[in-house]
């Protein structure tokens, strides 16, 4: 979940340039950061600040999401060996760091942080006393347990050394320099050429050369990939007149939905048709996803059931405990980043069981995409805000488009316009959001199509506004949760047209004093107090549109409370640890 950058250049670059590259990866972690530029080692707590005019031809930088050890300057990366000769940055978790650390302490090494990562610097110092760097990297693969993307610098050496196991790493071939990073966004504005690390590979990098090896030290040939990136990237990445990226990304949704749907009939048509054929030929479908993507997959399972396809969805971290899959099963992985470690582990289990794998991702060339037989890009563009909004909308829309091809009756040609019309209600929704903001708890209820949406809205409220929220099936209220409803408790009720049961659930909480907010497409409820009315048919689109209404409620509640909306505490965009 951390972001790493390493640069080897022909001409000198500034520390500001190094930090600028790191800033582009800050969504991966922003507890602390640091860099080393062959002369200066600097560490800081907090968000990356692009500053400094030191110049170098070689440097590494790191932005941290804490796993082992608190958020302190001492625990920030880079980490340095006792003799000061080895400098490392690390993304991942060294699971057997305690055992390695114990051995190193016996040898006389002194540690200055609480992290698992510092072990790597001391390990390399110890081994390099007797062996060359290539031998040490081979031994590290044999001894280190866990996940890692590691960059190593050795003082007096003009090379970067990179090792990768289960944590993302890519080499960007830029003009006059080679750049190593956690993902392509670090350098996507500088080059369209990249070399992707596969598992258990290491590389030796200079300003003009790169050599790759497998974990046993055998040289391997790597191909250069041409990166396709949105031409409008720079424009889309700016906040413009928006207070937060989250709001901008919500307002991007009509455009990205239209673009994604267009691609299914054009540039992605061939792969889309292959996915449809594979779904039809599979005995059952099992989704693997986490967080927001899991809620999109719940919608997907609902849509598939409507067209008679056997489908279930499992939270990826528990996949192997509950999945009953074989060679006739199609596993569909959904991940915004394409690097979610729990999903990657689920796919490894699926591979062991000989299941076929396809993926739905938002980042090209990601690990999950490369593990898949087929992969569809949702084309949402980069999300700068940690809370996912437009990616969720495009994931759910793609799943609905797949089911449309399988016989689901839905008109998707007007979805972008429906989203635009909903966004025009944002000032009215803003007023409703204050009702949520002034409470410690909130409950969101739905049934059928809207149950996954209730879960997603609750997640958004928790991660963005820091309010305890529970999304649940309306029918489950009477089995316990209704005991928590008291005077003024906010309840968001997702009322799909012709659903008398959810209306009954709404009346039940109203009778106990709840402050009800309805999101509905039922014309009979249009003029009810505290209601967001969405003009759409009962054709599957209501679930997506209701989620967007929830995104707006969440955003304005969090803004009212003054929360750090784009970078919520303790969260990172790309979850690359278990």
Q: How many Å apart are CA 117 and CA 67, to the nearest integer?
A: 10
For helices 118-128 and 97-106, the axis angle rounded to 10 degrees is: 50
Please tell me the chain's helix, strand, coil percentages from 3-state DSSP, rounded to the nearest 5: 40, 25, 35
Two structure tokens written together for 559: 């803004």
Assigned token pair, 484: 């928590």
Mapped onto helix, strand or coil, the DSSP state of residue 471 is strand
Residue 550: its H or E element: helix 541-560
Residue 527's Cβ-count burial label (10 Å; 0-12, 13-18, 19+) is exposed
Q: Return the structure tokens found at 538.
A: 């009962």
Nearest one of 236, 231, 167, 180 to 206, comparing CA atoms: 180
What is the rounded distance in angstroms from the CA atom of residue 56 to the CA atom of residue 39? 8
Between CA 81 and CA 158 the distance in angstroms is 18
Helix or strand holding residue 8 (H, E)? strand 3-14
Identify the CA nearest to 511 among candidates 537, 482, 538: 482
Contact 330, 286 (CB under 8 A): yes
* CA diameter of the chain: 80
Q: Of 248, 283, 573, 578, which residue is the catalytic one?
A: 573
**Spatial separation of the C-alpha atoms in residues 410 and 379, rounded to whole Å:** 21
To the query of whether residue 573 is one of the catalytic residues in this protein, the response is yes
Residue at token pair 């990172």: 572
- Choose, from 2, 23, 101, 248, the residue flagged as catalytic: 2
Strands 441-446 and 490-495: parallel
Q: What are phi and psi of 331, to 5 degrees?
A: -95, 125
Q: Tell me the C-alpha to C-alpha distance, in Å, between residue 247 and each of 184, 233, 244, 250, 281.
A: 25, 17, 6, 5, 41
Cβ 284 vs Cβ 326: under 8 Å: no
Comparing CA positions, the residue from 316, 362, 341, 527 lying closest to residue 428 is 527
Tell me if residue 409 is catalytic: no
Taking the alpha carbons at both ends of the chain, their separation in whole angstroms is 10
Q: Which residues are catalytic?
A: 2, 573
């Amino acid at each position: 979940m951390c972001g790493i950058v390493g640069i080897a250049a022909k001409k000198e670059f500034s520390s500001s340039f190094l930090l600028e590259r790191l800033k582009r990866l800050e969504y991966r972690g922003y507890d602390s950061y640091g860099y080393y530029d062959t002369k200066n080692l600097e560490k800081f707590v907090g968000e990356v600040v692009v500053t400094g005019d030191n110049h170098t031809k070689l440097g590494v930088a790191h932005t941290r999401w804490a796993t082992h050890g608190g958020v302190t300057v001492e625990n920030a990366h880079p980490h340095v060996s006792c003799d000061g000769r080895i400098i490392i940055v690390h993304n991942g978790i060294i699971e057997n760091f305690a055992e390695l650390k114990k051995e190193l302490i016996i040898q006389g090494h002194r540690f200055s942080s609480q992290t698992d990562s510092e072990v790597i610097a001391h390990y390399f110092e110890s081994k390099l006393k007797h062996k060359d760097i290539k031998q040490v990297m081979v031994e590290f693969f044999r001894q280190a347990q866990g996940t890692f993307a590691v960059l190593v610098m050795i003082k007096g050496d003009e090379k970067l050394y990179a090792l990768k196991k289960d944590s993302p790493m890519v080499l960007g071939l830029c003009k006059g320099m080679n750049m190593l990073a956690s993902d392509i966004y670090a350098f996507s504005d500088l080059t369209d050429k990249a070399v992707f690390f596969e598992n258990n590979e290491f590389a030796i990098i200079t300003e003009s050369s790169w050599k790759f090896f497998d974990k046993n030290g055998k040289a391997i040939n790597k191909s250069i990939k041409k990166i396709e990136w949105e031409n409008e990237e720079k424009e889309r990445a700016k906040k413009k007149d928006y207070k937060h990226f989250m709001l901008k990304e919500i307002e991007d949704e009509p455009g990205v939905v239209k673009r994604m749907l267009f691609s299914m009939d054009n540039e992605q048509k061939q792969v889309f048709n292959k996915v449809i054929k594979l779904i039809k030929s599979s005995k059952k479908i099992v989704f693997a996803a986490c967080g927001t993507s899991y809620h999109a997959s719940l919608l997907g399972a609902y849509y598939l059931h409507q067209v008679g396809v056997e489908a279930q969805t499992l939270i990826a971290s528990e996949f192997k405990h509950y999945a009953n899959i074989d060679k006739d099963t199609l596993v569909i992985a959904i991940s915004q980043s394409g690097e979610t470690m729990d999903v990657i582990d689920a796919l490894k289990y699926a591979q062991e069981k000989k299941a076929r794998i396809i993926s739905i991702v938002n980042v090209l060339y990601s690990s999950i995409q490369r593990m898949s037989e087929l992969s569809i890009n949702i084309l949402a563009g980069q999300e700068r805000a940690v809370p996912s909004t437009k990616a969720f909308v495009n994931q759910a829309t793609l799943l609905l488009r797949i089911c449309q091809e399988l016989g689901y009756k839905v008109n998707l040609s007007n979805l972008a316009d429906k989203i635009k019309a909903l966004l025009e209600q944002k000032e009215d929704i803003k007023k409703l959001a204050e009702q949520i903001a002034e409470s410690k708890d909130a409950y969101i209820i739905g049934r059928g199509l809207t149950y996954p949406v209730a879960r997603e809205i609750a997640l958004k409220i928790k991660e963005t506004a820091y309010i305890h929220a529970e999304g649940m099936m309306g029918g489950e209220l009477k089995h316990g949760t209704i005991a928590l409803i008291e005077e003024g408790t906010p309840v968001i009720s997702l009322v799909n047209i012709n659903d008398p049961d959810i209306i009954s659930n709404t009346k039940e909480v109203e009778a106990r004093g709840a402050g009800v907010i309805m999101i509905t497409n039922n014309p009979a409820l249009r003029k009810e107090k505290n209601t967001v009315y969405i003009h759409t048919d009962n054709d599957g689109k209501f679930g997506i549109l209701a989620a967007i209404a929830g995104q707006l409620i969440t955003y304005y509640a969090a803004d009212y409370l003054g929360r750090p909306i784009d970078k919520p505490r303790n969260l990172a965009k790309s979850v690359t640890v278990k």
